[in-house]
Chain A
Amino acid sequence: MQGLADILPILLGAAWLLPLVSFVVIVFLGPRLGKAGVLAGYVASGAILGSFVLSAVAMLLWLGHHWPAGTHHEAHGAESHAADEHHAAGDSPKRARLQAVAFAADDAAPATHAADEHAAGADHGLADEHAERPAYAGTWYTMASFGPLELSVGYYIDALTVAMFTMVSLIATCIHFYATGYMHDELHDVTDHEVRMSDGRHLHRPGRYYRFFQYLSLFCFSMLGLVVSGNVFMVFMFWELVGICSYFLIGFYIERKSASTAANKAFIVNRVGDFGMIIGLMALWGSLGTLAFGDLPVVAGGKGDNSTATKAVRPGIFSLVRPAENHHALTTPDGMVRSAAAAAGVTDNAAAAEAGVVNDWRQQGLGYGLLVVAGLGIFCGCVGKSAQFPLHVWLPDAMEGPTPVSALVHSATMVAAGVYLVGRFYPVFTPEVLLVIAYTGGITLLMAATIAITATDIKRVLAYSTVSQLGYMMLALGAGGWLAGMLHLFTHAFFKSLLFLCSGSVIHAVHTNDMRQMGGLRSKMPYTAYTMLVGCLAIAGAGIPFLIGFSGYYSKDAIIAQLISFRNHNSGFHGVLFYVAAAGAATTAFYMFRLWYLTFAGRPRDHERYHHAHESPKVMYVPLMILATLAIVAAWTLPGTSLSLANVLEQARPAGEHGAGRWWTALVVPAEHLSHLGAVHVEATLIATIVAIAGFTLATVMYGLGVLNPDDVRQQFPRTYAFLRDKWYFDELYDYAFVRPTMLVSRLVAGFDKRWIDGFIDSLARWTRGLANIDDTIDRYLVDGLINRLADWTYGFGLYLRNVQTGRLREYVMLIAVGTVALFVLATFAVGLVLAG
């Protein structure tokens, strides 16, 4: 137990960092790695293979310590199993169960701690309390801390984490090796026939083989980081990083305008989701002050503190929302209650410290809204990443990237991260949020499936199929089927990556994505054809009812069963979700076999392409065979044991049930074990099988046997066909509703800057200059004018006087005489006046 707590973070940490090492090596050495960087492929593949080996070791160690309990498909499984489990745990302290907190620097305390808690749990007698839910949480390093607030890089490792690690690294390894074959064109100069230069020639450029693997390595690092994350902050960081890797990989053919536009679209649409996610983060962070999933030890008083028996534990989000003392029932955490109270203005902080008040407020429902906002916000991020309605528009365009990318990033792992996060965050969602999740998934499922029917681009069919299947998972999760959704995440990862790689193999052979130019390829490329058939059967959920089936059979069954259970518990409209799921299952079978028939069956429609087609090299079809095997057996139980994917995942099932909503009390999210009840189970299996057969039959009739001509059908419903072909007009709608208004506002803002603000500043300047001019004029004409005039007069007078000064004596004498006389006359006159006065 203790060993596991120490070694798992090291193993998974190493598995996580290996691809980063590969990325750095390729960044610096890139083209120097062998001829044209050919070794880069092996560096990256080796790194991810190493990750897989480490993950597999981690998985084995995990199984060694936490052997999964008996199957849940039996009726009343949960209760009886729980009782067994209790005894098992009691027998062997080494296998102590329950949520265990890992103390990295600790020796014996956690084991006893967990055992104690187990003993305490036994008193409750609740099935849920006994479920095996081991998890190890810890911190690698702190990025920033503010008093008790801490943003850190850490881990949260439970069965789900380990299983995800194994799945992601396994699929990634297959795809890496496949890509060394698929991308070999990039080893030498490439002529890109899709890009025409201004002089009319096609683009000729050097190959970028090593760069492809560089991005793939960065992606693997980011994806594994996302999975190992111990807190939502770290999830968000890697969330963005996988987004940017996806951006690079979609836009791998940077010269193609369509590729770079699709890359931009993917990232920006994801950012719309992230916008919501940030709001969710804020709601959590602002009220709880932590974003950690699990409980973390408080490192108080330094390292010498280890000996103390009682460990200070800082509760994570899960413990806050699902406190053990409340039997893991959904509880609005204190922080949210107080935060809401503060916002409502009813707070007296000192009084709030009294727990009673907080409890009263909680009863009144204060803070529940915050919990809903947090859940919806986080789900918004998942909507973006997992391409759910209404943010699904980026995924089909993302098929511009090379096919191995579509297989790895845009079907098996990254887009599933949204579903993964919903699963991880499951305890925090309120029933209301779950309902939103369910409906989002339902709408997505149906919409994408209908579009897939009409698509002719082989990768786009698969892309819409991915969107649709992700909708399936969301629907399952929203209806309370945690395990069903998670199981489908895994099985889908295997068969969808298989399907994509097969389509890649076909594209590699015929150099087109258009299924209308394929046909009859089965004889040319048998490995591809039959492995793809396996993929189609798996996604359609083929199986012999109640006996055995492809992996999809189990997960789809579980989903439909959960939806039946959901319908049974909720009267009224919500039952529609079940019909959506059933209809989706039929449609899935239809469009998948349509794809298979169009590609591999019938007669070749383009003889030239058919003629050049050939089976792909071994390095490509061996991964196909591995994945095909997994697509068949992934959900099987190891005979004679209780080891199965479902049972391993079951260990990570979030604590506590959801029950009824607080706002919509009529809403009930049924516990998942209720869907294992016999009647529900039988109904689900039968319905799933019937609809799948219906879809398959229709496809066979139309495309396999050619009995019903698809063109006739198309002409029967031209409107519907156009509507589906144009993808429900989402792109056009968004263009008019968001893109254009944004650009308009941006132009308005820029214009406002120029016209109004700068206009104001410039006019101020003009006014100042005008004022200065007036001032200048006054100065020049009035003030100076007056002075000058005066000066002029004086000057003129001086000039005039100068005339007098002639230098002739006679005139002077005369002047003096006249002057004297004049003065005399004046004086006399004046005296006379005075005397007279």
Chain B
Amino acid sequence: MNTAVALLSFIIFLPALAAIVVAFLPKDKPEAAKLFTLFVTLVVFGVTLWVAIPRDPASDSLHFALGQPDMQLSVGLPWIEAFRIEYLLGLDGISFPLVLLTAFITLLSMWTSWNITKYVKAYCVLFLILETGMLGVFIALDFFLFYVFWEVMLLPMYFLIGVWGGPRREYAAIKFFLYTLLGSVFMLIAILMLYFSSDLRQLATEKNVALFAAAHPHLSNDAGKDADGQPLDSPLMQKFKEVQASEHPWHTFNILALQQIGQHTNDAEWLERLRAGGYDGDKHPFDEAVFLGKSVQWWAFVLLFIGFAIKVPSVPLHTWLPDAHVEAPTPISMILAGVLLKMGGYGILRICYPICPAAGYELAWAVCGVGVVSMVYGAFAALAQKDFKRLVAYSSVSHMGYVVLGLGVWSATQANGFNPYYWEQGVTGAMFQMIAHGISSPGMFFLVGVVYDRVHHRNLDEFGGLFGRMPLYSGLAIVIFFAGLGLPGLCGFIGEVLVTLSAWNFSKVLAVISAGVVILTAAYILWTIQRVYLGPEYKGPHGDHLTPITPREVAIVAPLVVTSIVLGVYPPAMLDYLKPSVDKTVVELATWTKDVQPYIGLDEEQMEEAQEEEKAKTAALLP
């Protein structure tokens, strides 16, 4: 337990500590600061990779066990006791691949930062704080802690774009900041709404003891014995009893507890219990109407979704992205595309759906619609771009649309017999697409950066002939761009095809539209390749600066190329990590759809009637 605390805290806070060290490094040695920062990112990546290597759990508990759907390495320490805010961390198949991706992309991005010459020390400090924020977002399991990390990541990003960016950097940085801040404010409102509606006592009943345990994976249920040999209460049971005995509602920020409360406590029996405890409503507190006749969870879902959709980014909340990408320096673009966008998808999967299933069920169409609109809109917009980086940015909008669609294809409905498999496929596809996009998109930005460093422009009409001038570079670029195009054998294909195929059972219309995007994607990627790499000669300025790609640049892009091929040819390499947890999440929601959803919004009598009806229906079918 303690070692897990140390391990996860080490992963999260090593960069922050290193930032302090960098701040004290002598100012006249920028190379030292860069080298040190690179070393730190390498250590972080090394540690996460070490955690990822499958081992025998008996010999070594400090690793991520495959095939295990629950939270692993989870730890919890009291932090701000007055509000029951905890230092709650953990990894599962949904967060761990993203942590791995973060460490990987941060490492490559730092190495890309070699060209940074302005205020190097400050750059390194902010870069390291950014890494802490990003890792923290994926590892934190306490909603408040999550929010803190979310904000920690925001500020360094603002400065990294605003100080080290291109000509319109201030505009882009402020736009990025305000957009994200708006999302943060919405998120904060939602967090507080959920916090004050929650009551951990709802889980602390004999019937729900398993749910209580699931919400506290960091508490051991091993009962020790006291000095007299009398069995002691396990830490879990201690907490259980403490909560049970509480006279006042026990609000919680624990994301896992909120998930359990959101999904499992909406039956008549539960309401009865709640009333016995002095609660005078006739609904689950998350279902209580708060504003315009919509429930707490409806509003929480909408506010959270807007916050996350800004990050994804989904149309129409996406316009910060092209500006931020165009102005940000190459390494920061890589982080933006590779990691920051993933936080949106992660948040929707980890928070929106499991905590607010009723709202998610009601709004599934809206979510999927947003996804499909983003796919189509982003692809069309990409087709019209003249700026290389803007084009890649819009391709991100389009590709991340697949993620939103995949997360939302709630096909486990009664008509399909609550069959969760297609939805599992969609969510798995979305997760895979996040990883795949996290590989291909930073690669694309890096490759744009390589030519930008040489000729200092990004006008698509003023390239051409790069294949002749920089053959190795062009070869690598074509692989990465084809990964973005969704070519089989490369990583982009798997995510896209899983999502698209899964959409059919949710909505045939959306599925057909999403399938049509493959044409547009091919069009803008191939047209770009033609304009930049093919053709007889380079048409822009500074043609004599087009020197072959350097070994450092090859070393940065080669791992991305290799990863995209490995993931494309053998997707289980990643699916083995993420599938158990994704499956569990989806199966739980499918079970919720079956057991709880039909009774939402019914009062006690109606609910009983509905249950009777259901029983009669089943009985009639039996011989």
Interface residues of chain A, those whose CB is within 8 Å of chain B, are: 141-144, 146-149, 151, 192, 195-198, 203, 205, 233, 236-238, 240-241, 244, 247, 251, 254-257, 260-261, 263-264, 267-268, 271-272, 274-275, 278-279, 281-283, 285-286, 289, 339, 342-343, 345, 347-352, 354, 742-743, 745-747, 749-751, 753, 757-758, 761, 765
Question: Is the C-beta of B377 less than 8 angstroms from some C-beta in chain A?
Answer: yes
Known A146-B428, A260-B534; judge A278-B515 contact (CB<8 A): yes
In the complex, given contacts A147-B420, A750-B384, what are 4 additional A-B residue pairs having Cβ atoms less than 8 angstroms apart? Answer: A247-B526, A286-B505, A750-B380, A753-B322
Contacts of A240 in B (CB 8 A): 487-488, 493
What is the CA–CA distance of A272 and B503 in the complex, to the nearest angstrom?
19
Measured in the bound complex, the distance between the Cα atoms of B494 and A765 in whole Å is 41
Q: How far is A197 from B487 in the complex, measured between Cα atoms in Å?
A: 33
A-B interface, 4 closest residue pairs, ranked by CB to CB distance from nearest: A237-B488, A750-B384, A746-B383, A286-B504
Give the residue of A141, A351, A746 whose beta carbon is less than 8 angstroms from that of B381.
A746
- The stretch among B12-20, B48-56, B434-442, B516-524 that forms the contact with chain A is B516-524
A255–B533 Cα distance when bound, in Å, is: 9
Q: Is the CB of B537 within 8 A of A260?
A: no
Are A197 and B537 interface neighbours, CB within 8 A?
A: yes
Q: Does residue B422 face the partner (Cβ distance < 8 Å to A)?
A: yes
B175 within 8 A of A: yes
Chain B residues within an 8 Å CB radius of A765: 178
Are B424's CB and A147's CB within 8 A? yes
* A268/B526 in contact, CB under 8 A: yes
**CA–CA, A351 to B415, complex, Å?**
12
Mask: chain B, 359-392; 1 = CB below 8 Å from A; 0 = not: 0000000000000000001001111110000000
Q: How far is the CA of A572 from the CA of B614 in the complex (A)?
A: 55
B547 within 8 A of A: no
B500 with A278: CB separation less than 8 A = yes
Q: Is B416 an interface residue (CB 8 A)?
A: yes
Chain A residues whose C-beta falls within 8 Å of the C-beta of B380 in the assembled complex: 742, 745-746, 749-750
B498 contacts A by Cβ under 8 Å: yes
Given A257-B535, A267-B526, CB of A749 within 8 Å of CB of B377: yes
Smallest distance from the beta carbon of B532 to chain A beta carbons, Å? Answer: 11
Given A147-B421, A255-B535, A271-B504 contact (CB < 8 Å)? no
Q: Does B293 contact A (CB under 8 A)?
A: no
Q: Which positions 376-428 of chain B face chain A at CB distance < 8 Å?
A: 377, 380-385, 414-417, 420-422, 424-425, 428
* Residues of B contacting A261 in the complex (Cβ-Cβ under 8 angstroms): 530
Cross-chain contact A255 with B534 (CB below 8 angstroms): yes
Q: What is the CA–CA distance of A352 and B414 in the complex, to the nearest angstrom? A: 12
Q: In the complex the two chains form, what is the Cα distance from A746 to B604 in whole Å? A: 53
Chain B residues within 8 Å of A289, by CB: 421
- B501 and A285 form a contact (CB under 8 A): yes
By beta carbon, the residue of chain B nearest A750 is B384
Chain B stretch 533-552: residues in CB contact (< 8 A) with chain A: 533-537, 539
Residues of B within 8 Å of A758, CB to CB, are 319
Q: Contact between A349 and B522 (Cβ–Cβ < 8 Å)?
A: no
B468 contacts the other chain (CB 8 A): yes
When chains A and B are docked, how far (Å) is the Cα of A255 from the Cα of B501?
38
Given contacts A254-B535, A746-B381, A761-B319, contact A350 B618 (CB under 8 A): yes
Whether B522 contacts A271 by the Cβ 8 Å rule is yes
B316 within 8 A of A: yes
A and B contact pairs by CB, cutoff 8 A, 16 listed: A143-B572, A144-B575, A237-B489, A240-B488, A244-B487, A256-B536, A279-B515, A286-B505, A345-B415, A348-B617, A349-B417, A351-B621, A354-B621, A749-B381, A750-B380, A761-B175
* Closest-CB distance, B458 to chain A (whole angstroms): 16
Q: Which B residues lie within 8 Å of A143 (CB)?
A: 494, 570-572
In the complex, the answer to whether A342 meets B530 with C-beta atoms within 8 Å is no
A421 to B500, CA, bound (A): 22
Residues of A within 8 A of B571 (CB): 143-144
Closest to A261 in B: B530
Does B187 reach chain A (CB closer than 8 Å)? no
Contact of A342 among B415, B518, B527 (CB under 8 A): B415
Tell me whether B535 and A260 are in contact (CB under 8 A): yes
B512 touches A279 (CB 8 A): yes
Residues of A within 8 Å of B497, CB to CB, are 233, 236
Q: Check B108 for interface membership: any CB of A closer than 8 A.
A: no
A275 and B415 contact, CB distance less than 8 A: no
- Cβ contacts under 8 Å, B467 to chain A: 254
The answer to whether A260 and B530 touch (CB under 8 A), given A146-B428, A347-B415, A349-B417, is yes
Q: Using a CB-CB cutoff of 8 Å, which residues 238-259 of chain B contact chain A?
A: none
For residue A394, give the distance in angstroms from its CB to the closest CB of chain B.
12
- Asked if A746 meets B621 with Cβ closer than 8 Å, knowing A149-B425, A254-B467, A282-B501, the reply is no
Q: Does B465 contact A (CB under 8 A)?
A: yes
A198 in contact with B537 (CB, 8 Å): yes
Q: Which residues of A contact B570 (CB under 8 A)?
A: 141, 143
For residue B511, CB closer than 8 A to chain A, the reply is yes
Residue of B nearest to A757 (CB): B319
Closest A residue, CB atoms, query B426: A146
Asked if B186 is at the interface of the complex by the 8 Å CB criterion, the answer is no
Is B482 touching A144 in the complex (CB atoms < 8 A)? no
- Given known pairs A275-B515, A746-B383, the reply for A251 and B319 (CB within 8 Å) is no
**Alpha-carbon distance between A285 and B503 when the two chains are bound, in angstroms:** 11
Q: Closest A-chain residue to B521, C-beta based?
A: A271
Chain B stretch 471-527: residues in CB contact (< 8 A) with chain A: 482, 487-489, 493-494, 497-498, 500-501, 503-505, 508, 511-512, 515-516, 518-520, 522-523, 526-527
Question: B516 contacts which of A142, A275, A339, A746 (Cβ < 8 Å)?
Answer: A275
Residues of A within 8 A of B526 (CB): 247, 263-264, 267-268
CB distance from B388 to the nearest CB of A (A): 15
- Set of chain B residues within 8 Å of A342, measured between Cβ atoms: 415-416
Set of chain B residues within 8 Å of A255, measured between Cβ atoms: 465, 468, 534-536
Proximity string of chain B (430-468) to chain A, C-beta cutoff 8 Å, 1 when within and 0 when not: 000000000000000000000000000000000001011
Contacts of B420 in A (CB 8 A): 147
CA distance A524 to B575 in the complex (A): 62
Nearest-neighbour CB distance to chain B for A189, whole angstroms, equals 12
Q: Which residues of B contact A195 (CB under 8 A)?
A: 536
Complex CA distance for A255 and B467, rounded to whole angstroms: 9
Q: Does the CB pair B530–A282 fall under 8 Å?
A: no
Chain B residues whose C-beta falls within 8 Å of the C-beta of A205 in the assembled complex: 468
> Please, which residues of chain B bring their CB within 8 A of the CB of A260?
530, 534-535
In the complex, A580→B303 CA distance in Å? 63
Q: A278-B515, A742-B383 are in contact. Are A251 and B415 (CB under 8 A)?
A: no
Residues of B contacting A343 with CB < 8 Å?
Answer: 415, 508
Residues on the A chain within 8 Å of B530, using CB: 260-261, 264
Whether the pair B487, A757 counts as a contact (CB closer than 8 A) is: no
A354 neighbours in B (Cβ, 8 Å)? 621
Residue of B nearest to A255 (CB): B536
Is the pair B425, A241 in contact by a Cβ cutoff of 8 Å?
Answer: no
Query: Cβ of B617: which chain A residues have Cβ within 8 Å of it?
Result: 348, 350
Bound-state CA distance A143–B415 (Å) is 28
| B500 contacts A282, C-beta separation under 8 Å | yes
If A285-B504, A749-B384 touch, whether A254 touches B534 (CB-CB below 8 Å) is yes
- In Å, the complex CA distance between A348 and B59 comes to 51
Residues on B with beta carbons closer than 8 Å to the beta carbon of A761 = 175, 319
Q: Contact check, B422 vs A149: say whether CB atoms are below 8 A apart.
A: yes
* Chain A: CB-nearest residue to B482: A244
Q: Which residue of B lies closest to A291 (CB)?
A: B501
In the complex, which residues of chain A have a beta carbon less than 8 angstroms from the beta carbon of B522?
A: 267-268, 271
A143 nearest CB across to chain B (Å): 5
Pairwise interchain contact A349-B414, C-beta atoms closer than 8 A: yes
Q: A271 and B518 in contact (CB under 8 A), knowing A205-B468, A743-B384, A746-B384?
A: yes
Contact B424 A146 (CB under 8 A): yes
- Please state if B421 and A148 are interface contacts (CB–CB under 8 Å): yes
How long is the Cα–Cα vector from A758 to B527 in the complex, in angstroms?
26
A377 CB to closest chain B CB (Å) equals 9
Q: Which residue in chain A gives the minimum CB-CB distance to B519?
A: A271
A203, A286, A743: the one within 8 Å of B383 (CB) = A743
Asked if B536 contacts A203 (CB within 8 A), the reply is: yes
